[in-house]
Amino acid sequence: MNLNEKLELIKRNTEEIITEENLIKLLKTKKQPICYCGYEPSGPLHLGHFVTITKLIDLEKAGFKIKILLADIHAMLNKKGDEKSIKKEVEAWKKTIKAIGLNCQIILGSDFQFKKEYQFDVMKIAQHTTINRGLRSMQEIARDIENATISQLIYPIMQIVDIKHLEVDVALGGLEQRKVHMIGKDMSKILAHDFIPLHTPLITSINGPGEKMSKSLPGSGISITDSYEEIKKTISSAYCPAKELKDNPILQITKLIIFPRFSKIKIQRPEKFGGNLEYNSCESLEKDFSQGNLHPADLKYAVIEYLEKIISPIRKNFK
């Protein structure tokens, strides 16, 4: 894979790279750069996570070494459970990642975050970060942000220090991570480590605009433990207005999760409604949808079947 091919693959379905110029320089100068993404092990992996998981697969193909941080200490700081429950979730996530087949190094936060050198870096960043900026960085990450605790202000500082101690070249996350990453960029000289933030879009809640997809909200998402019938029920009732491209979670799932895994998508429908359709790109599918040539019900049926193809092998190996 040449440089342009790598760059095209990395840029696919990304919202922002800070900066593309730095990314090109990295690809030219380092044989196997390191990319990481962190996940709080609190509940099963769901479709919202699949956006960054899919991008990690792209980055692996582009020659990156992939590190996944199972952020057990972060989960505790963010009030996602006690030590016992989080430990149980860590084991479930390890099984899930193995079932997905991603070639990566899995690291626990608790394996390195208590070291003296790490904690000293946390203190240095804390000295140079205001409470207001720390709080703003957690607006889309923290649980119960209206009643934020001091532990949730430690969270973004540790996330920045993780990037240094994991020797990260590219930090991957959804757009909700942007404010944290920008603190890290501004503190790069103090931390003596710089990196490239790479952000993916967020999938809108299945219930419609106003929230990102999350299994913590009833009926808002799909996890890898959901059965075929549960997937069918969730997608069938999902927000998907005819001809509407903006904030449409079904189209977002099609673009960000299904198309990267399948070279073409077939839409099955009766002859009386025009017969089957086949799309080789998300652009052509979206064009037909916006013009009313593809009905939401037919698209939903296809999404159900393709999600089952993606999730069923993971579900099987997860048990």
254 neighbors 282 (Cβ within 8 angstroms): yes
Q: The tokens of 9 are what?
A: 């693959």
Amino acid letter, residue 141: I
Same-domain status, 196 and 238? no
pLDDT of residue 283: 95
The Cα angle at residue 53 between residues 52 and 56, in degrees rounded to 5: 85
Q: Is residue 66 part of a domain?
A: yes
Task: Please indicate, yes or no, whether residues 145 and 285 belong to a single structural domain of this protein.
Answer: no
Return the amino acid letter for 159. Q
Last residue of a domain, one of 180, 200, 220: 200
Enclosing domain of residue 146: 3-200
pTM of the predicted model as reported, rounded to 2 decimal places = 0.91
Which strands, in side-by-side order, build the sheet including 105-108? Answer: 16-17, 196-200, 170-174, 34-39, 65-70, 105-108
Alpha-carbon distance of 230 to 250, in angstroms, equals 16
pLDDT of residue 63: 96
Reply yes or no on whether the pLDDT at 113 is more than 90.
Answer: yes
Residues 131 and 193 in one domain: yes
Q: Are residues 189 and 264 in the same domain?
A: no
Residues 164 and 301 in one domain: no
CA distance 121 to 243: 51
Please say if the pLDDT value at position 219 is more than 60: no
Residue pointed to by tokens 């942000």: 145
Provide the percentage of residues in the chain whose pLDDT is more than 70.
96
Total domains, the chain: 2
Measure the CA–CA gap between 143 and 5, rounded to whole angstroms: 39
Q: List, for residues 52-72, the tens digit of each pLDDT value.
A: 999 999 999 999 999 999 999
- For the chain, report the end-to-end CA distance as a whole number of angstroms: 36
Specify the range with the lowest mean pLDDT, choosing from 25-29, 146-150, 152-156, 160-164: 146-150
From CA 88, how far away is CA 134, in angstroms rounded? Answer: 29
Contact indicator for 298, 269 with CB cutoff of 8 Å: yes
pLDDT category of residue 216 using cuts at 50, 70 and 90: low
Indicate whether 96 belongs to any domain.
yes
Task: Report pLDDT for 152.
Answer: 86
The average confidence (pLDDT) of the chain is: 91
Quick one: pLDDT band at residue 142, thresholds 50, 70, 90? low
CATH code of the domain in which 278 resides:
1.10.240.10
Q: Does 140 score more than 90 pLDDT?
A: no
**Same domain for 265 and 173:** no
What is the model's pLDDT at position 319? Answer: 61
